[in-house]
């Protein structure tokens, strides 16, 4: 069984996708054609709006007419949120060059480029890229950031699972476009390496969330009580993760 932390969905700029389990539909709200994604695997009607648009969940047998009546009953809210998305900032492309500045663990580090054999290494407040001529500096930076991420995530995951009496699961870095993390009873925990850009308390929340799934593979009250044990300030961290996650650099 797989449980995933769905706190922020990357925009289409990041190559977002529509799941094969969801079907696109259209309806008219206040004279505007609105597309929505329909998933028929829910127990009750629900709606959410993210950077990819309107998503509706519904029971398998519910007629489309009833689903669209539900959407129309919330039409003003839907249009307002969709309009807000148009003006929302999206993650920025960040060119890597000598002197560029990268967010790492909530602070900034300077990028220094020198001649070398295509490797990255860290000094206080600096990421050094020893590069051959015509090297892909962005790729070198990504690899260095991923190493830094694993070094930071591993001991924090070990500490979290120790609190709940679980063995340390395998940890794999993810480059997923739609998830901060996931937990599988078979394959362990995956954490998005881009979390390394964020402050440590926000990373700790994601780790707590995924570690809690080792106890409860759901989002029941018991699950959230485990999250609270591992990360007492999880509600504030969750909101801050959504806010800061919307401005991460794209390298």
Q: List pLDDT tens digits, range 129-150.
A: 999 988 999 999 999 999 999 9
pTM of the model: 0.68
pLDDT band at 85 (very low <50, low <70, confident <90, very high): confident
- Mean pLDDT for the stretch of residues 26-36: 87
How many C-beta atoms surround the C-beta of residue 66 within 10 A?
11
Q: List pLDDT tens digits, range 169-219.
A: 999 999 876 689 999 888 899 999 999 999 999 999 999 999 999 999 999
**Angle, helices 200-212/234-245, rounded to nearest 10 degrees:** 120
Q: Which of 232, 184, 188, 192 is nearest to 208 (CA)?
A: 232
User: CB–CB of 173/190 below 8 Å?
Assistant: yes
Lowest mean pLDDT among 39-48, 117-126, 221-230: 39-48
Q: Which fold has domain 101-245?
A: Zincin-like (3.30.2010)
Give percent of the chain above pLDDT 90: 62
**209-232 burial: b if 16+ Cβ within 10 Å, else e:** bbbbbbbbeeeeeebeebbebbbe
Lowest mean pLDDT among 7-11, 94-98, 117-121: 7-11
- Spans of all domains in the chain: 7-87, 101-245
**Angle, helices 221-230/200-212, rounded to nearest 10 degrees:** 140
- Mean pLDDT for the stretch of residues 35-40: 88
Task: Determine the length of the chain.
Answer: 251
């Amino acid at each position: 069984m797989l449980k995933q932390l769905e706190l922020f969905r990357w925009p289409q700029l990041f190559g977002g996708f529509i799941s094969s389990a969801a079907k696109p539909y259209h309806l008219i709200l206040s004279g505007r054609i609105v597309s929505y994604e329909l998933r028929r695997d829910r127990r009750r009607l629900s709606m959410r709006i993210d950077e990819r648009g309107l998503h509706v969940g519904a029971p398998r047998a519910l007629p489309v007419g009833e689903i669209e009546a539900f959407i129309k009953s919330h039409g003003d809210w839907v249009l307002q949120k969709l309009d807000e998305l148009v003006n929302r900032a999206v993650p920025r492309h960040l060119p890597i060059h000598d002197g560029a500045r990268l967010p790492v663990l909530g602070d900034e580090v300077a990028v220094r480029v020198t001649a070398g054999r295509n490797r990255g290494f860290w000094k206080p407040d600096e990421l050094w890229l020893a590069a051959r001529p015509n090297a892909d500096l962005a790729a070198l930076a990504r690899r260095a950031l991923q190493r830094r991420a694993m070094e930071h995530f591993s001991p924090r995951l070990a500490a979290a699972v120790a609190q709940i009496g679980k063995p340390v699961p395998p940890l794999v870095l993810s480059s997923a476009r739609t998830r901060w993390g996931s937990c599988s009873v078979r394959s362990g925990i995956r954490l998005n390496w881009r979390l390394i850009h964020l402050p440590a308390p926000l990373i700790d929340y994601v780790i707590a969330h995924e570690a809690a799934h080792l106890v409860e593979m759901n989002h029941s009250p018991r699950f959230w009580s485990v999250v609270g044990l591992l990360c007492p300030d999880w509600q504030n961290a969750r909101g801050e993760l959504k806010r800061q996650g919307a401005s991460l650099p794209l390298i």
